């Protein structure tokens, strides 16, 4: 059975792989690394890329933290034990071109001193303009990697993503979803090693999925109005992360490293009161709902 040391090594290698792939995809910007330590135990490697030919701001973070379970952690996470261990890789990319979507991914592992452990993670896509053909390709890629490990993973995790990446006060999803999972443990149908392999394969899929979205869309010309729409949609992304995202809110409440936690926010975003929308913008808003069967969507 794989142990913490093997999982950490795999996650560090995954971070290196993704950074290398994204630098090649961007073509001009390089990641800057910020090493940090946590007083209570552990630390991480925050890597930021900015002002590139493709990516305006992005981060690929690795963390490995451990220590005593605080009362807030015990209450919010319903933990049974005295100490915890957590490690993972998290990614958010905000592109320059409004035709290229925002993308997010994380894979994580959590273990208690009682021996209880679980894996979590997922990938989701937030287009500024929803293009059904590209949404379909994104979900097909996720379905393919899920099917390698369990026939029910894709549909179960897609539903989980639809429910999780939802902004109740706007009554809209953050984007076109993807997959999301948490508290995955070994059982009679899948081993701990396979759950780690699934997490790593999902991580390696990330730059492939983003390349698929970006290679053509990054070259589309855009107007000032489309740039303003990009920033307006980024505002929705910020709202979700600061109000509803469990990792962000929990990290801020428990004294996590603020700079690394807020890496997920864009450099520029806007909120415009009672904004009038163009026809194409209204078409995108109409797609921001739960339960869309992106695999079988009709594309033109």
Kindly list the catalytic residues. 104
Q: Write out the two tokens for 159.
A: 């539903």
Radius of gyration of the chain (CA): 19
Which of 212, 300, 222, 231 is CA-nearest to residue 272? 231
Which of 115, 134, 116, 113 is CA-nearest to residue 125? 134
Which of 210, 11, 3 is CA-nearest to residue 127? 210
Report residue 218: phi and psi, to 5°.
Answer: -65, -20
CB atoms within 10 A of CB 252: 13
> What is the C-alpha separation between 92 and 57, in angstroms, rounded?
8
Strand ranges (DSSP E) for the chain?
Answer: 32-37, 42-50, 55-68, 83-95, 102-112, 117-126, 166-167, 172-173, 178-184
- 32-40 long-range contacts, Cβ below 8 Å, gap at least 24? 34/259, 34/260, 36/257, 36/260, 38/65, 38/67, 38/257, 40/65, 40/66, 40/67, 40/68
Helix 132-147 and helix 192-217, axial crossing angle in degrees, nearest 10 = 160
Q: Count how many Cα atoms sit within 13 Å of the Cα of residue 89 in the half-sphere of its side chain.
A: 26
SS3 138: helix
Q: Which residues contact 1 (CB under 8 A, 6 or more apart)?
A: 191, 192, 193
């Amino acid at each position: 059975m794989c142990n913490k040391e093997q999982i950490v090594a795999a996650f560090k290698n995954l971070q290196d792989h993704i950074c290398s792939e994204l630098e090649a995809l961007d073509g001009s910007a390089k990641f800057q690394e910020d090493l940090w330590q946590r007083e209570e135990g552990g630390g991480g490697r925050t890597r930021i890329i900015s002002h590139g030919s493709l990516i305006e701001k992005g981060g690929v973070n690795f963390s490995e933290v451990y220590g005593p379970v605080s009362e807030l952690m015990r209450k919010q996470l319903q933990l049974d034990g005295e100490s915890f261990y957590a490690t993972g890789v998290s990614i958010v990319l905000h592109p320059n071109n409004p035709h290229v979507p925002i993308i997010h991914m994380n894979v994580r592992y959590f273990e208690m001193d009682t021996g209880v452990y679980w894996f979590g993670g997922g990938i989701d896509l937030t287009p500024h303009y929803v293009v059904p053909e590209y949404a379909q390709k994104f979900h097909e890629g996720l379905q393919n990697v899920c099917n390698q490990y369990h026939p029910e993973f894709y549909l179960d995790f897609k539903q989980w993503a639809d429910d999780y990446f939802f902004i109740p006060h706007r009554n809209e999803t953050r984007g076109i979803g993807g997959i999301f999972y948490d508290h995955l443990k070994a059982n009679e149908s899948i081993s701990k090693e396979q759950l780690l392999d699934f997490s790593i394969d999902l991580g390696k899929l990330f730059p492939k999925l983003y390349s698929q979205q970006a290679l053509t869309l990054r070259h589309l010309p855009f107007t000032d109005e489309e740039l303003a729409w990009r920033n307006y949609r980024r505002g929705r992304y910020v709202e979700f992360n600061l109000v509803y995202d469990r990792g962000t809110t929990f990290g801020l409440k428990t004294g996590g490293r603020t700079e690394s936690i807020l890496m997920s926010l864009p450099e520029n975003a806007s909120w415009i009161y009672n904004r009038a929308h163009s026809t194409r913008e209204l078409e995108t808003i109409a797609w921001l709902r739960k339960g869309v069967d992106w695999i079988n969507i009709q594309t033109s």
